Chain A
Amino acid sequence: MWAVLRSEWIKWRKSPILWLIFVSPALCSLIGLLESDDMSSGNQWDQLLHMMGVMHALLLMPLLTGVFAASVCRLEHAGGGWKQLLALPVSRGAVYICKFVSVMLLLLATQAVFLAALLLVGMVKGYTDPIQWSSLLFSLIGSWIACMPLAALQMGVSVAWASFAAPLAINAIFTLPNIIIANSERFAPYYPWDQPVLVMLSQQLDDGPDAFHLSMTTLYTVISVSFILFFVVGHMYFRRKPI
């Protein structure tokens, strides 16, 4: 398993896709810098996280999840890599897990860069409020975990389809409605594309009379169950797929 992951790293190291981990933090920093602070209430860092986090978690994270999943598969689809990789002495299951782990690691790297960007924007703006590390890290790590069902789903689609555009198109089509569905207390927790933003902003939203407000227990249950479901189905499919 470790060997497969190390092999993945070789393929990744020089891929231009690696640069994408900087894109979302850069765009969101721009928003963070341009938008003026609302001085009324609350911790400055919390507000900044809200400003930058909406764009990041509502749109860019789901989209990037799709791009990363499609990319790890494209590497193999493009040069006939699957047949070489799977004729090596590794189990197909391990290959699938490693591909999934690669996607999650890329997303984790994105989160780390996002955190750095957030701190940088705050420093530039000269924030004086204390940083609430626990809630900040909860938002970032939580939204990362909330990407898991979507990542599993996109992995399945990307493995099945040799085309790079198709899985990405599907992902984009389902990401755009996020804004509308996020408003629905009833449906949003069940929509994989909305889960990252719900978790990321859950703390700010929990204590407000916001439309986002919802039961966190439901959300966590849905995330765990749907992740297991998507992952197991994708894994089973991949193990049986003729190459």
Chain B
Amino acid sequence: MKQSTTTDWVIETSGLTKAIGRKALVQDLNLRVGRGEIYGFLGPNGAGKTTTIRMLLGLIRPTRGSVKLFGRELKSNRIEALRRVGSLVEYPSYYGHLTGRENLEAVRRILGVPSSRIDEVLTIVRLTKDAKRPVKGYSLGMKQRLGIATALLGNPELLILDEPTNGLDPSGILEMRELIKSMPQQHGITIVVSSHLLSEIEQMATQVGIIAQGRLIAQESIGALRGRSKGRLSLRVGAVPQATKVLSAIGVQAESAAAAESSRTGAAYDENANRILVDSVDDEIAAYYVRTLVESGIEIYRVEEVRQSLEDLFLKLTDGEESL
């Protein structure tokens, strides 16, 4: 893989905004996608993922802000940039009356790659057997795979896939995921893959950008995101105020679980009434907390580890928006 000389970012947007009338669909997006990454673009339905991707491909014009692909302005280098990009937006595009191979041929003639490339991409998406049938008879999964094949046809350095697992069955999803994961390793391709499913992104992405209501609310490596979701220690105690005081005396920040819960959902549950939360720690230190509390005369009923899942974190970040 040759290293770009101008910049490290394959995609760099600054202040990218798309508004229709006064309603902003996408607002002030600063995306940074590094070379060789699998960038998971995550957000609930209607958050602006597809709008953003359309702008990345020059299909619609941004209201404000700019897109740089491979370090150069998209606006002035659109064709040059698109030569290095393969894409699949929303649902796959196809000409129903043509066969799979003919569909690829129609695109190949524009890209000017050798005919043998068609066989290669058909093999990659395992459509070789069905290549001679008209596409209108394909299942959704096959159309989706044909879409991927089309995206791969021009040997792209950057692959932009919008919801590529939409409508696929579990084995199709698994296959697609393996295909996506293999590409940076085998071909040095950078991939942007959007999804509304956290689990999906979690299993393949190396970088994650989370978008909600048109705004980018987080952008970091998957590791950092996981770090933010590490577990906490929950202690059910006889008296919450005293316990908090005792722990703070030894320099431990404790939080009442009821307060934590109500700050998130606006409701307190009985179950949380006498629980406190502290950051997760090693066994010895946990034992030390317990010993200190017991020695201060505070009853301890239960000690447990609560893991905040990425799902919770995502919910918290996106403000509990629907349809995940």
Residue ranges of A at the interface with B (Cβ–Cβ < 8 Å): 3-4, 6-7, 10-11, 14-15, 75, 78-91, 240, 242-243
Contacts and interface: CB of A to CB of B under 8 A. Distances in A.
Most buried by B among A3, A15, A84, A87: A87
Nearest to A16: B97
Interface in B66-110: 78-80, 82-83, 85, 87, 89-98, 102, 105-107, 109-110
B59 A243 contact: yes
A81 B112 CA distance: 18
Contacts of B90: 80, 83
20 contacts: A3-B112, A4-B110, A7-B107, A10-B105, A10-B106, A15-B97, A79-B96, A80-B93, A81-B95, A83-B54, A83-B93, A84-B93, A85-B110, A86-B58, A86-B59, A87-B59, A89-B80, A89-B110, A89-B154, A243-B54
Task: Rank and list the top 3 A-B pairs by shortest CB-CB distance, nearest first.
Answer: A84-B93, A89-B83, A80-B93
Contacts of A81: 93-95
A88 B106 contact: no
B80 A6 contact: no
Given A4-B110, A10-B109, A85-B93, 13 more contacts: A3-B109, A11-B98, A11-B106, A78-B95, A81-B94, A84-B150, A86-B57, A87-B82, A87-B87, A89-B79, A89-B83, A242-B54, A243-B60
Contacts, number: 86
A10 B102 contact: yes
Chain A interface, >50% SS class: helix
Given A10-B105, A11-B98, A88-B82, A79 B93 contact: yes
A90 B110 contact: yes
A87 B85 contact: yes
B98 A88 contact: no
B111 interface: yes
A243 B78 CA distance: 15
Contacts of A14: 97-98, 102
Nearest to B102: A10
Which residue among B59, B85, B89 has the maximum number of chain A CB atoms within 10 Å of its CB? B59
Q: Identify which of B92, B105, B106 gathers the most chain A CB atoms within 10 Å of its CB.
A: B106
Contacts of B79: 89-91
A224 to B, nearest CB: 31
B132 interface: no
